[in-house]
């Protein structure tokens, strides 16, 4: 079934401001990821393919009928983005159009309504301007932006909804991972299979990973290094990050083949490695055995994850599935990559790709 074409009623985004901000109760220098939300959120709905009533309102609970389709069949997708403050105090977004495009690719895959640019990007820009005082100073973190779309029909027949609700909320956040992470290799559980929804940013991909994550934690690890669904050998991603390995003088990263998330940070990292750091990047299948062998012969120099929340996160250890790999502590490639990414994003170095969206 193909979703109806996008159409928007002519209503512009209306704004209802809070009467009193909650910001004075928040310590922006100490916010855990995903626990605190800013004053406003965006709400819009789409009925039978027509978008209506986009509004920014005070942050608050959603009232849902118990039969709301998403609660039963998980027809839900989301995005993750960040706003930062430049050194001269201007709020900036990083490649927001890429998130809008990916959100609509996810919507198509999940047979959901696509979101018009003026609601997705227009809504984010309005919200970030309105809650700009919630953006933590750079040394403490950023304002995480979470757009999400869900099936809202009060109907438990198994079928795509006619009504969708779209919201954007924002949250001041510190680091997602504090320092380096250990990843658990499982040959038993999988995150996604060919022909499935692995490349969509669908809510179900995340809950599907919880069982493996539980095992990972029981083995003292932070998360799972997912392998392919057929041979249980080829590295996919980590659920919160795409993966990169420095083997010899090249960076190797799994290709986008439909089962892993096409990360905006992954794409940005590949471009910076190639164009600015002169580092060859191979997007090719990489097996866990190859990584273990490279570790044994000394050619595995680094392993790191890249993602919006995680930025560039070092991996200290891979364990499980018959593999035990300790990564070197010296990490020059990822350190330089993180520094370059951060400087472009904060307007400290030139932005040759036009990635930064300044919200003046």
Q: Under the rule (CB under 6 A), what is the footprint of ligand COI?
A: 80, 206, 240, 307-309
Q: How far is the CB of 170 from ligand COI (least distance, A)?
A: 12
CB atoms under 10 Å from CB of 65, counted, come to 11
Q: How far is the CB of 309 from ligand COI (least distance, A)?
A: 3
Q: How far is CA 286 from the centre of its chain?
A: 23
Report the residue number, 155 or 206, with the smaller CB distance to ligand COI.
Answer: 206
Of all residues in the chain, what percent are helix, strand and coil, respectively (each to 5)? 25, 30, 45
Report the residue number, 229 or 308, with the smaller CB distance to ligand COI.
Answer: 308
Q: How far is the CB of 82 from ligand COI (least distance, A)?
A: 8
Q: How far is the CB of 81 from ligand COI (least distance, A)?
A: 7
d(CA 54, CA 124): 12
Report the residue number, 73 or 206, with the smaller CB distance to ligand COI.
Answer: 206
Q: How far is the CB of 312 from ligand COI (least distance, A)?
A: 12
Q: How far is the CB of 359 from ligand COI (least distance, A)?
A: 19
Report the residue number, 103 or 130, with the smaller CB distance to ligand COI.
Answer: 103
Report the residue number, 141 or 307, with the smaller CB distance to ligand COI.
Answer: 307
d(CA 59, CA 162): 25
Report which DSSP code applies to 308: T
CB 270 within 8 A of CB 283: yes
CB 166 within 8 A of CB 62: no
Report the residue number, 5 or 179, with the smaller CB distance to ligand COI.
Answer: 179
Q: Using alpha carbons, list the distances in angstroms from residue 160 to 57, 207, 355.
A: 28, 20, 35
Ranges of H-type helices in the chain: 69-73, 96-109, 117-130, 203-207, 210-218, 264-271, 288-296, 332-345
Using CB positions, name the residue nearest to ligand COI: 80
Q: Using alpha carbons, list the distances in angstroms from residue 279 to 115, 145, 243.
A: 37, 31, 16
d(CA 137, CA 239): 28
Q: How far is the CB of 271 from ligand COI (least distance, A)?
A: 18
Report the residue number, 79 or 153, with the smaller CB distance to ligand COI.
Answer: 79
């Amino acid at each position: 079934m193909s979703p109806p074409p996008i159409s928007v009623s002519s209503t512009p985004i209306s704004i209802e401001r809070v009467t009193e901000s909650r910001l004075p109760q928040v310590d922006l220098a100490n916010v855990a990821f995903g626990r605190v939300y800013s004053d406003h959120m965006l709400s819009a709905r789409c009925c039978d393919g027509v978008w209506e009533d986009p509004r920014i309102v005070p942050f608050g609970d959603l009232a849902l009928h118990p039969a709301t389709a998403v609660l039963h069949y998980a027809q839900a997708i989301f995005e993750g983005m960040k706003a930062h403050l430049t050194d001269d105090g201007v709020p900036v977004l990083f490649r927001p159009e890429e998130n809008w495009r990916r959100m609509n690719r996810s919507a198509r895959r999940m047979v959901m309504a696509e979101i018009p640019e003026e609601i997705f990007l227009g809504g984010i820009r309005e919200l970030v301007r309105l809650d700009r005082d919630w953006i933590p100073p750079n040394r403490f973190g950023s304002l995480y932006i979470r757009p999400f779309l869900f099936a809202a029909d009060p109907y438990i027949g198994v079928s795509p909804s006619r009504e969708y609700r779209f919201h954007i909320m924002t949250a001041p956040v510190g680091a997602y991972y504090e320092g380096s992470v250990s990843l658990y290799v499982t040959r038993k559980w999988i995150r996604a299979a060919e022909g499935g929804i692995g490349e969509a940013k669908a809510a179900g991909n995340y809950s599907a990973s919880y069982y493996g994550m539980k095992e990972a934690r029981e083995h003292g690890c932070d998360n799972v290094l997912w392998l392919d669904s057929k041979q249980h050998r080829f590295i996919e991603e980590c659920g919160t990050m795409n993966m990169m390995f420095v083997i010899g003088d090249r960076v190797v990263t799994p290709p986008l083949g439909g089962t892993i998330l096409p990360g905006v940070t992954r794409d940005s990292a590949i471009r910076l490695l190639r164009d600015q750091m002169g580092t060859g990047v191979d997007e090719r299948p990489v097996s866990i055995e190859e990584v273990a062998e490279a570790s044994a012969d000394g050619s595995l120099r680094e392993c790191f994850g890249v993602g919006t929340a995680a930025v560039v996160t070092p991996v200290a250890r891979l364990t499980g599935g018959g593999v035990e790999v300790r990564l070197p502590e010296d990490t020059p490639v990822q350190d330089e990559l993180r520094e370059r990414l951060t400087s472009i994003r904060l307007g400290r170095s030139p932005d040759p790709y036009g990635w930064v969206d300044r919200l003046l």
